[in-house]
Structure 1
Amino acid sequence: MSQLPSPSQGHLLFKTCFYVWNPFTSLLLLGEYISLLDSSCVMLKRFVLVNGMRLLQSSISRWWHLDLGRWWYFMPGMQGKVFLSKISFTSGLLHTMSTCRIAPRIIAEPTRMLMDEKFRLEVHYLPPHRPVTLHSSLLSERQVTWEAFAQYISGPDGVVKVDRDESFGGTYFGQEPMGLIWSMKPQDKTDGMRLMKKDVTTPYVVHISVYDGHISGKFSENAALATIQVERWTLAPGVKRVEVRENGIVGTLFIPPGQGPFPAVLDIWGGGGPLELRAALLACHGFVSLSLAYIFHSDLPGPMGSVSVGFDYFEKAFNFLKSHPQVSSDRIAIAGLSFGLTIVLLMAAELPNINRWIFFFFLILHRSVDKIRYADNGSVIWRDIVLPIPEDPEQKVKVGKIRCPVLLIYGDDDQCWPVTEAADDIEKMMQEAGNAHLLTRICYPGAGHIIEPPYNAFVPESILVFPKLQMKAKLLFGGKTEPHSAAQEDSWKRLLAFLEQHLILDGKPLKSQL
């Protein structure tokens, strides 16, 4: 063998090399040991060369010459990684030209956040103008996988920024910073249930991956370029969760960290049963919150699915909050969703008659089945069961008696309830009574029935079970994914601002942080 060239002559000495395949780059050079010899040469004692689809380990019986020219440089701060561009390897008949790059990296900040908070999502170290697909997934409490994906093209800097760049395809389009969360759909299209968080003590763990090229499915069969996971929590540290079984009241109390006293919210969910998501998040924003059950709970009296509480049940819950040592007794709001809104209006207007009106609603539902319509896919449309709006004042809530501010939030594509007609009637009655100045209406075009805290996955329909009526139906909620998701984000901000305006006398409540 001829005499070996010295490093000062601008050569690179190799003893062993490995060929392995990487689907993202045509060539990848990694050095196990790297030493800079002079201004034109790098020495690697071991290296990995990626090129082609074959795995080969060989001993080199002679030395290879590596012409770096002006195309090598060391990137400081990259934990010893080397970026080599346009490398020319020559040894006999072997001649390979390609590019070596740092592996793509997903950046999520923060990686732990509350469910109503945004997070920044970026992908770095991609080739410029490269088509890639971002994919998100989580496992629900019912062990159903929910997922979303979006197709991007990296910028000239090799970076995708979800809050800056537009999605060209997938479960959402355009510039949507939280699209990978709110556009999730169940993998099992026959599941028929919406995504509900019942255990607020545990987070949703969301896995986010990036794939080479624009793909639309079978993500588990493709190799991800990079993966990261984020946790989306409902409870912040220091927020207490206390089950309430007192004086016949069934619910869950959430108390912010600190001594208080705090403003409070009585949270009444819809006919589908109690959920703690909103009450827990309100506590993270500084409000003592009681998520009250009145139907579909095993600790309530009577058969499951029936309203068996007396007229004084809701008054007891309100007084429970009012007398709590950590609650400001004169700063309490009541929030309702779906049928819970009817109860809220009844509490504000005519508390002694609540029980009669609850059963009146279910009586209307039972006797108006002939007004039920069906969508093309068989989903039930309920919105007509109380139409036309009754003219008889004895059949309506006397909202003219309300003496507190009212925030009415609804979507104009609600298919469960005639909300636009009902809102018009409420405003008309309040105008006649002289208290319309207390009413704030916010209507969201394209939004459906269940407007929840932001970024929760949207479904236009879901299965509900009504044992007393011997019904199990897939209800059509209405709405479209993008406008409904936008409504959830905006309405949550409006709700918090409304509560702060009317309940906070000495500045905003302290929001808890993860």
Structure 2
Amino acid sequence: MTVTLLLEPAGRSCWDEPVHIAVRGLAPEQPVTLRASLRDENGALFRAHARYRADARGELDLERAPALGGSFAGCEPMGPFWALKPEKAWGRLVKPEVRTPFPVELEVLDDPEPGRLLCQARHEHDFLQPGVQRELVRAGRVRAALFLPPGEPPLLIVRVFCGLILLLFPLFLSQVKGPGVGLLGISEGGELCLSMASFLKGITAAVIINSSLASAGGGIHYRGEILPPVGINKNSIKVTKDGFADIVGVLNSPLEGPEQKSFIPVERAESSFLFLVDQDDLNWKSEFYANEACKCLQAQGRRKPQVICYPGAGHYIEPPYFPLPGFHACLGGRSCYLGRRAQGHAMAPLDAWK
């Protein structure tokens, strides 16, 4: 019997859409290896693999069959995608051109390794839904990209952000139906969201992901008001055995001493806030800062914001199934850990992306 690799949807799907992977035509209880790979736009190779055993009918369904080892273990239907890792150390999967898909090659090999190739398939992951328009914005010093979905904008745009994506920070301005604007920001982008929600009118909602409560990297200027950065204490930087920087305690506290003037005045904000944090974030104390922001807002009579904690998600909570490294460059080019655990990072977006 011919061995076939079945994908549903077949051929192509959006990156945040789950793909059902199944294999038919194997021998009863046959051991196999499922291997996934892709090359990014710079030619860098990323791979993941896991060992499986077919059932008594010679079938393998990743929604039911547990991985027996490899890049991941247990029942992980999308493991071949989120577990992708760079072939070269410290590589990072990025997608500068979101209008083209990422092609992922899937192969089923006989065990033990290196087994013969039994079957293969190719699946393309899109980042934009059909009909989405992308327009570059050049206005003064603003450099941005505007994404417009087809037809009338829905109340909440899940897979396509409609609005400006600032290139300097991972900050998203999402269009919502009505007079208001929603914000979503990660890390320093979250600090900008807090500032915008504090100073600008018409901001109705803000989602803050693993942010501090003050400007960490540079001052924030608005109509004569300046929020200077709190700065960092370089003496607090620790270097791990493998050369990574431990910076969780480097940022000066925006709530203590003379730096308190740098605290972003969230009490002015009229927005509804949602904080997504990882208690294991190794960039700064994201959960602590989120809770302090909640106290400040409630002291001013505002509605209590929601704080959702995802242990092990890491500093970046990105779209579902997208693999990310556990580090990023900072502090003069030295890399630091993001604090993620592979499974925690994979599970958090499934809930957050709702």
Does the TM-score normalized on the shorter chain lie above 0.5?
yes
What is the aligned partner in structure 2 of residue 241 from structure 1?
A: 134
Matches within 5 A, 1:400-479: 400-437=267-304, 439-464=305-330, 471-479=332-340
Higher relative contact order (CA 8 A, sep 6+): 2
> Do the aligned partners of 2:227 and 2:261 also contact (CA within 8 Å) in 1?
no
Deviation digits for residues 419-467 of structure 1, max 9, x if unmatched? 1221221122122222142x11000112210111110113211335x7x
Residues 231 and 252 in structure 2, CA contact (< 8 A), matched pair in contact too: no
Map 1:129-144; keep pairs closer than 5 Å.
129-144=29-44
Pair 1:480 & 2:341 matched: yes
Cα RMSD (Å): 2.6
Letter of the 2:326 counterpart: P
Query: What is the CA–CA distance in structure 1 between the aligned matches of 2:189 and 2:291, rounded to whole Å?
Result: 19
2:243 aligned residue (378, 400, 403): 378
Give the aligned residue type for 1:345.
L
- Count of aligned pairs between the two proteins: 332
Shift of 1:399: 1.5
The CA distance in 2 between the partners of 1:173 and 1:261, in whole Å, is: 40
Structure 1 CA distance for aligned equivalents of residues 324 and 153 of structure 2: 36
The 8 Å contact of residues 151 and 214 in structure 1, kept in 2 or not, is answered as no
Kindly state the Cα deviation for residue 106 of structure 1 after the two structures are TM-superposed. 0.3
User: How far off is 1:360 after superposition?
Assistant: 2.8
Q: Give the SS at the match of 2:336.
A: strand
3-state SS of 1:330 partner: coil
- Show the counterpart of 1:205: 103
Match of 1:331 in 2: 180
Contact 1:243 1:252 (C-alpha < 8 Å) held by counterparts: yes
The answer as to 2:69 corresponding to 1:184 is: no
- The answer to whether the Cα contact below 8 Å between 2:67 and 2:75 also exists between their aligned partners in 1 is yes
Q: How does 1:105-184 map to 2 (within 5 A)?
A: 105-110=4-9, 111-184=11-84
Counterpart for residue 353 of structure 2: 492
Q: Could you say which structure has the larger radius of gyration?
A: 1
Q: Which amino acid aligns with 1:485?
A: A
Higher helix fraction (1 or 2): 1
Separation of aligned partners in 2, 1:261 and 1:450: 27
Q: 1:168 to 1:289 in 2, by over 3 A?
A: same
CA contact (8 A) 2:291 2:307 kept: no
Asked if 1:104 is matched to 2:21, the reply is no
The reply to whether residue 289 of structure 1 matches residue 167 of structure 2 is no
- Partners of 1:376 and 1:473 in 2: CA distance: 13
Alignment match, 1:20: none
Amino acid in the other structure paired with 2:194? L
Q: Does 1:253 align with 2:146?
A: yes
Query: Once the 2 structures are TM-superposed, how far is the Cα of residue 210 of structure 1 from its aligned partner?
Result: 0.5
The alignment partner of 1:135 has SS state of: strand
Is the counterpart of residue 396 in structure 1 residue 238 in structure 2? no
Instruction: Compute the displacement of 1:264 (Å).
Output: 8.0
Match of 1:152, SS state, is: strand
Aligned to 1:31: none
Between the aligned partners of 1:157 and 1:264, the Cα distance in structure 2 is: 44
Q: Is this contact kept in 1: 2:102–2:126, CA < 8 A? A: yes
Secondary structure of residue in 1 paired with 2:312: coil
* C-alpha displacement of 1:214: 4.5
Residues 1:410 and 1:441: Cα distance change in structure 2 (over 3 Å): same
In structure 1, what is the Cα distance between the partners aligned to 2:308 and 2:169? Answer: 28
| Structure 2 CA distance for aligned equivalents of residues 155 and 397 of structure 1 | 57
Give the AA of the match of 1:108. L
In structure 2, C-alpha distance between the alignment counterparts of 1:329 and 1:292, rounded to whole Å: 22
Q: Structure 2: which 5+ residue stretches go unaligned? A: 202-218
- Give, in angstroms, the shift of residue 358 of structure 1: 8.4
Report the alpha carbon displacement of residue 187 of structure 1 after superposing the two structures with TM: 1.2
Work out the CA distance in 2 between the residues paired with 1:396 and 1:403. Answer: 17
Q: Is the 8 A contact 1:347 1:354 kept in 2?
A: no
TM-score by length of 1: 0.60
Q: Distance in 2 between matches of 1:477 and 1:119?
A: 27
Please state whether the residue corresponding to 2:81 is helix, strand or coil.
helix
Q: Secondary structure of 1:170's match?
A: coil
User: Could you give the per-residue CA deviations for residues 174-200 of structure 1, whole angstroms, max 9, x where no partner exists?
Assistant: 1111000001111112xx232111110
Deviation, 1:476, is 1.1
The structure 1 segments of at least 4 consecutive aligned residues displaced by more than 4 Å after TM superposition are 261-265, 356-359
The one-letter code of the counterpart of 2:166 is L
Residue 350 of structure 1: which of 169, 177, 199 is its match? 199
User: Using the alignment, how far apart are the partners of 1:257 and 1:481 within structure 2?
Assistant: 35
Alignment partner of 1:434: what SS? Answer: coil
**2:231 alignment partner, SS class:** helix
Residue 459 of structure 1 contacts residue 481 of structure 1 at CA under 8 Å; is this kept in 2?
no
Tell me the residue number matched to 1:18.
none
1:191-214 superposed Cα distances (whole Å, 9 cap, x missing partner):
x23211111011110000011114
Deviations 1:25-54 (A, max 9, x none): xxxxxxxxxxxxxxxxxxxxxxxxxxxxxx
Do the aligned residues in 2 keep the contact of 1:389 with 1:422 (CA within 8 Å)?
A: no
Q: Secondary structure at the match of 2:67?
A: coil
Give the letter for the 2:335 counterpart: K
Shift of 1:261: 5.2
TM-score (norm 2): 0.86
| Aligned-residue offset at 1:386 | 2.2
Partners of 1:386 and 1:359 lie apart in 2 by: 15
Corresponding residue of 1:44: none
Q: Distance in 1 between matches of 2:127 and 2:146?
A: 14
- How many Å separate the matches in 2 of 1:391 and 1:462? 28
